[in-house]
Amino acid sequence: MPLVVHDFGLYVGLKSERAQVRKGKAVVEETPLFDLDQVVVMGSGISLSTDLVEACAEHGIPIHVLTSLGRPTAMLVSAGLAGTVRTRREQLLAYADGRGVALAKAFARGKCLNQASLLKYMAKYRKAKGDAVYQEVRDAVIEIETLADEVMRLAGERVDDVRPSLLNREGRAAQAYWDAIGKLLRDDVTWTGREHRGAQDPVNSALNYGYGILYAQVEHALLLAGLDPYGGFVHVDRPGKPSLVLDAIEEFRQPVVDRTVFGLLNKGASLSRWMRRGG
């Protein structure tokens, strides 16, 4: 289980093989280290003890630091977590041959198909009612699945050859997806479209929060596999940009975060309470 800490003024330390969260002298929470798979610190004004950092490193527990809006800023892992040199060499070489093309297509296709799958899941309740929204969403699903097929037919020997056409299909699928999502939400939910950094509305804030948690898990998984988080295929290389993390996270957004957030919304649950509890 994750330990998510996000209130100003908290202190996270180590107490007899347990991660202990305190506010002043009051103990807010205690979790045995053997029950933890990660520690997530969100926001400012939160303190960590070096004893906890050392214990987490010894137990293979990553510590992720995110802003209050869910944007990752740092990750603390064991200094011995490096994987094999050969794995990273082959990852970088793959960018220049057909393996990179195959990976880029797989990332984009996986994202598109998971978008279509979630729309089908959410629309099945509308089908029973026989309303017009079901057919509109069904048309969006067909469009997204068609674009996913087009991605796999793109020709090129290097990633750079296929990236413009791939991003075009991926962007069109995303537009169809978010438009359809807006039609499937409850009438009393305000949704003006997808917004990323700086979003203030509850829906986009919850999505960004969930993506931040997911980002931390994907980055750690890539490190455990011995891969370089900065050597991506679909996302272009830029200093400080973890391109491979951004590539790999795409196909997990819909089943892990989107389905959870939209399910809570349509059941009338409080997103702010879900975020306070750490997802």
Those residues with Cβ within 8 angstroms of residue 30's Cβ, 6 or more apart along the chain or in another chain: 15, 18, 19, 20, 21
Tens of pLDDT, residues 218-232: 988 888 888 999 999
Span 85-276: which CATH code? 1.20.120.920
Q: What percent of the chain has pLDDT over 70?
A: 93
Q: Express each pLDDT in 233-278 by its tens digit.
A: 999 888 888 999 999 999 999 999 999 999 888 887 766 666 655 5
Please state the rounded mean pLDDT for residues 112-137: 87
Provide the token pair at 29: 């929470």
- Please compute the mean of the pLDDT values over residues 13-42 and round it to a whole number: 91
Contacts 24+ apart (CB under 8 A), 107-110: 107/233, 107/234, 107/247, 107/248, 107/250, 107/251, 108/148, 108/151, 108/166, 108/169, 108/170, 108/234, 108/250, 109/148, 109/151, 109/152, 110/250, 110/251
Long-range interactions of 60-65: CB distance < 8 A, separation 24+: 61/33, 61/36, 61/37, 62/38, 62/216, 62/220, 63/38, 63/39, 64/38, 64/39, 64/40, 64/216, 64/220, 65/41
Would you state the pLDDT for residue 82?
56
Residue 151 has pLDDT above 80, yes or no: yes
Report pLDDT for 271.
66
Whole-number pLDDT of residue 266: 82
Q: What CA–CA distance (Å, rounded) separates 15 from 49?
A: 11
pTM reported for the whole predicted model: 0.77
Mean pLDDT of 193-198: 78
pLDDT per residue as tens digits for the range 153-176: 999 999 999 999 999 999 999 999
- What is the residue type of 137? V
What pLDDT, on a 0 to 100 scale, did the predictor assign at position 18? Answer: 92
- The pLDDT score that the predictor gives to residue 216 is 85
pLDDT at 74: 84
Rounded CA Rg of the chain: 21
CATH of 2-76, picked from 3.100.10.20, 3.30.590.10, 3.10.20.30, 3.40.50.150, is: 3.100.10.20
3-state SS class at 127: helix
pLDDT at 120 over 90: yes
Return the domain boundaries, the chain: 2-76, 85-276
